[in-house]
């Protein structure tokens, strides 16, 4: 019924199901039930595996029904009409079996990403001056509209505006089920081709913005000493904001000594709130750095086929005169740019997900 590859794959899923059952047993143990930290840890791991275990149980049910129908259909001692009905049922079950199996393969290779329900998205203006800042604002608004359609929760952590109403940079936190699966492919360099508002002669200019997408796990276990490992600078926040901006030192800049990672936060009037936000972003960036180091082998296929999310890598071009959007990683071009800028990203995201999933399955 299954070839060698599928047999190994099913065995892997059975190991996961057995591990899940073991976690259920642990949850009932007195030593775990009486320890809130341990019980939460076990429950969290069970929640991560549940996305695989439940559909695998359905697959096993179909598998048993298929075996039963085939056995009955090949049993010469049974009535001919009954055997014929059993074989017809087996034909239907074979389709369900294949469908369940392919679904499980896709679920296995994306399960880790699917478990991430909170991310940080950083958008920064690149080359192009004021036009690049306007494009960064357009990307930010595009993602806001997309998140609204997907019913994701968005929190603006920090933003810095330009003189013409654009955005030099903006950092947002996005939460929701499957949020990393939806926005995880947006990292990289985004390029725009259009006639800027300031262009009197109607010439097309090319500008750029960069996007970084980083998972924000529920719990980041990093050994960091904020006094020794991180250097903190306090200053007055720049830009509009009245007397508070001019007189109160509320802006925070953190520099991680070992990695050189720098975070600046000025969005809040309160120094304490800016510090808390800056530390949150710092932890996420450090986590992403460690995550990349630890999972380099696992991510190699995705980085090759879909892109690493590195800001220097051009991932997409938005050409306004031709009303087209091209994703260079999969060679896909869509000719409804206006709708895409309104947050209609489902076709693009779906194609990236499908391509990524196919490449990951090849590496199993």
Burial class (CB in 10 A: 0-12, 13-18, 19+), 291: middle
Mean pLDDT for 292-318 is 60
Per-residue pLDDT at 1 exceeds 70:
no
pLDDT of residue 113: 86
Q: For residue range 49-62, what is the model confidence (pLDDT) as tens digits?
A: 888 999 999 999 99
pLDDT confidence tier of residue 76, bands split at 50, 70 and 90? confident
Give the containing element (helix H, strand E) for 99.
Answer: helix 80-114
Per-residue pLDDT at 299 exceeds 70:
no
The dihedrals phi and psi of 187, each to the nearest 5 degrees, come to -65, 135
pLDDT of residue 333: 97
* Cβ-proximal residues to 329 (8 Å cutoff; 6+ apart), any chain: 185, 305, 306, 307, 315, 352, 355
pLDDT of residue 305: 41
Q: For residue range 89-129, what is the model confidence (pLDDT) as tens digits?
A: 999 999 999 999 988 988 888 888 888 889 999 999 998 88
Strands 314-319 and 167-175: unpaired
Per-residue pLDDT at 346 exceeds 80:
yes
pLDDT of residue 298: 43
pLDDT of residue 219: 56
The dihedrals phi and psi of 230, each to the nearest 5 degrees, come to -125, 135
Q: For residue range 253-294, what is the model confidence (pLDDT) as tens digits?
A: 999 988 889 998 887 778 888 888 888 888 888 888 877 765
Q: Which of 48, 13, 52, 44 is nearest to 27 (CA)?
A: 44
Q: Which of 292, 233, 234, 237 is nearest to 259 (CA)?
A: 292
pLDDT of residue 97: 92
pLDDT of residue 240: 46
* 3-state class (DSSP) for residue 175: strand
Percent of the chain surpassing pLDDT 90: 42
Whole-Å CA distances, 229 to 259, 263, 272, 273, 274: 10, 14, 19, 20, 19
pLDDT of residue 164: 86
pLDDT of residue 31: 87
Q: What is the pTM of this model?
A: 0.72
């Amino acid at each position: 019924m299954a070839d060698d590859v599928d047999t190994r794959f099913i065995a892997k899923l059975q190991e996961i199901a057995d591990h899940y059952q073991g976690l259920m047993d642990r949850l009932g143990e007195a030593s775990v039930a009486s320890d809130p930290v341990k019980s939460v840890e076990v429950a969290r791991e069970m929640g991560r595996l549940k996305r695989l275990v439940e559909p695998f149980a359905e697959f096993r049910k179909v598998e048993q029904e298929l075996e039963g129908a085939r056995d009955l259909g090949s049993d010469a001692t049974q009535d001919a009409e009954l055997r014929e009905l059993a074989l017809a049922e087996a034909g239907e079950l074979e389709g369900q079996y294949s469908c369940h199996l392919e679904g499980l393969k896709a679920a296995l290779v994306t399960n880790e990403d699917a478990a991430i329900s909170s991310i940080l998205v950083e958008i920064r203006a690149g080359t192009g001056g004021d036009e690049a800042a306007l494009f960064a604002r357009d990307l930010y608004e595009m993602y806001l509209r997309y998140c609204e359609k997907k019913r994701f929760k968005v929190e603006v952590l920090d933003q810095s505006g330009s003189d013409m109403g654009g955005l030099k940079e903006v950092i947002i936190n996005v939460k929701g089920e499957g949020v990393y699966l939806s926005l995880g492919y947006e990292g990289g360099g985004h390029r725009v081709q259009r006639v800027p508002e300031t262009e009197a002669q109607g010439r097309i200019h090319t500008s750029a913005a960069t996007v970084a997408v980083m998972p924000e796990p529920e719990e980041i276990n990093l050994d960091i000493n904020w006094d020794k490992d991180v250097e903190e600078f306090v200053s007055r926040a720049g830009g509009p904001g009245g007397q508070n901006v001019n007189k109160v030192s509320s802006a925070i800049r953190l520099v991680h000594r070992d990695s050189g990672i720098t975070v600046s936060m000025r969005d809040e009037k309160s120094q304490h709130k800016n510090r808390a936000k800056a530390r949150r972003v710092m932890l996420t960036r450090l986590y992403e750095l460690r995550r990349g180091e630890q999972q380099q082998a696992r991510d190699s296929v995705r980085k090759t086929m879909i892109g690493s999310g590195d800001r220097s890598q051009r991932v997409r071009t938005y050409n306004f005169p031709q009303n087209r959007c091209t994703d260079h990683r999969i060679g896909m071009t869509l000719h409804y740019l206006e709708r895409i800028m309104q947050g209609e990203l489902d076709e693009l995201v779906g194609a990236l997900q499908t391509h990524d999933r196919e490449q990951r399955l090849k590496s199993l």
